[in-house]
């Protein structure tokens, strides 16, 4: 999918850009962006369930033609379509924060709020090398982005200190995906490495639980000059891990694993990240899209997916 993006920077300059999003990249951002929890093996069903639940919206032909698909009329549900649009808008905002701003890590706003939340607040907080910023992420099936002034106001709401705020509105999702990615203002604030370390410790600690040879097979490999772990998400391993959750054999679930052979990609330094978190001195991993291989994606945070 190619996303047409209207990007306005802090100086007010407008850039018309196109960013390519693969289905496996979308799956990663859809499952994790702003969910407010540490990914762990026990929560893998949520990720798989989300992907299956919304599979009608991710048909390959439509996706390759730069839009999401709609379910057959008999399965069409306006409420579900709205829910998918919201999640898709958040996933695209997270993806663009990595591509445009080179953010290293994002989390939901509630994870960093220092006091009880009241009133409006943005969806995401992102950290780059030199700044932290908030994003209001919208997804709309309509052919227009709606009230950008209102979206900008929500992007800059809340009490968390930020260098700037982004209103990211993805729209026309089922015809021709477009996005307005607008940067309303710029402030000078102190970088919050303490919060970045705290939230990323939780993030990588949960993911590090996959490096358990009692349940998962994994190996080291090199990719684009860095070392990673590739964790085989075999149903047999999950059967051992979740034996109490399998009172009967869910054949459909096993067949999905056999067909896609999904593998989770983790950074070689994940144990250090889990112990110490990351800071703004950590360099983001800039994944180079390979048109010949759409079966692998590694995000700036060095967490990715690979399928057969």
Model confidence pLDDT, tens digit, residues 212-224: 888 888 999 999 9
H or E segment to which residue 285 belongs: none
Distance CA 130, CA 122 (A): 20
Separation in Å, CA 198 to CA 129, 186, 193: 16, 25, 9
For 213, other C-beta atoms within 10 Å of its C-beta total 8
Using CA atoms, how far apart are residues 139 and 99, in angstroms rounded to an integer? 18
Token readout for 205 is: 């600690």
pLDDT band at 285 (very low <50, low <70, confident <90, very high): very high
- Interior CA angle at 233 toward 230 and 238, to 5°? 140
Please calculate the CA angle 299-301-302 and round it to the nearest 5 degrees: 70
**pLDDT exceeds cutoff 60 at 45:** yes
Query: Alpha helices, DSSP H only, in 156-231?
Result: 193-208
Q: What are phi and psi of 85, to 5 degrees?
A: -60, -40
pLDDT of 81 over the 80 cut: yes
pLDDT above 80 for 65: yes
pLDDT surpasses 70 at 84: yes
d(CA 258, CA 26): 21
Report the run of H or E that residue 106 belongs to, with start and end: strand 105-108
| pLDDT tier, 254 (very low <50, low <70, confident <90, very high otherwise) | low
Please say if the pLDDT value at position 246 is more than 50: no
Cβ count near 275 (within 10 Å): 11
Is residue 175 scored above 70 in pLDDT?
A: yes
Kindly state the average pLDDT of the residues 56-73. 91
Q: Give the pLDDT of residue 247.
A: 47
**Structure pTM?**
0.89
Quickly tell me which residue has 């220092």 as its tokens.
114
CA atoms within 13 A on the CB side of 15: 12
> Cα 224–228–231 angle (5° rounding)?
130
Helix (H) or strand (E) holding 235: helix 235-241
| Highest-confidence segment of 47-56, 176-185, 229-238 | 176-185
| Residue-level pLDDT at 114 | 67
**What's the pLDDT band for 186 if we cut at 50, 70, 90?**
low
C-alpha gyration radius of the chain = 19
């Amino acid at each position: 999918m190619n996303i047409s993006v209207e990007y306005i920077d802090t100086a007010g300059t407008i850039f018309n850009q196109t960013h390519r999003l693969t289905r496996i990249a979308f799956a990663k951002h859809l499952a994790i962006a702003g969910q407010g929890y540490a990914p762990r093996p026990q929560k893998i069903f949520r990720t798989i369930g989300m992907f299956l639940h919304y599979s009608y919206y991710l048909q390959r032909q439509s996706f390759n033609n730069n839009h999401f698909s709609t379910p057959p009329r008999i399965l069409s549900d306006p409420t579900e379509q709205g829910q998918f649009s919201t999640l898709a808008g958040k996933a695209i905002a997270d993806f663009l924060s990595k591509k445009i701003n080179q953010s290293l890590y994002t989390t939901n706003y509630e994870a960093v709020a220092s006091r009880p939340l009241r009133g409006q607040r943005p969806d995401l907080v992102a950290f780059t090398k030199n700044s932290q910023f908030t994003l209001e992420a919208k997804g709309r099936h309509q052919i227009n982005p709606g009230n950008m002034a209102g979206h900008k106001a929500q992007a800059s709401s809340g009490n968390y200190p930020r260098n700037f705020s982004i209103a990211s509105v993805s729209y026309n999702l089922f015809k021709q995906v477009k996005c307005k990615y607008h940067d309303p203002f710029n402030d000078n604030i102190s970088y919050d490495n303490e919060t970045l370390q705290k939230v990323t410790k939780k993030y990588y600690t949960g993911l590090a639980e996959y490096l358990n040879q009692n349940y998962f097979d994994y190996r080291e490999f090199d990719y684009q000059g860095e070392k990673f772990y590739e964790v085989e998400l075999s149903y047999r391993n999950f059967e051992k891990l979740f034996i109490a959750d399998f009172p009967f054999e869910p054949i459909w679930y096993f067949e999905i694993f056999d067909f896609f052979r999904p593998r989770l990609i983790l950074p070689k330094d994940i144990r250090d990240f889990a112990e110490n978190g990351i800071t703004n001195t950590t360099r983001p991993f800039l994944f180079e899209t390979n048109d010949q291989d759409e079966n692998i994606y590694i995000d700036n945070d060095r967490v990715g997916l690979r399928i057969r």
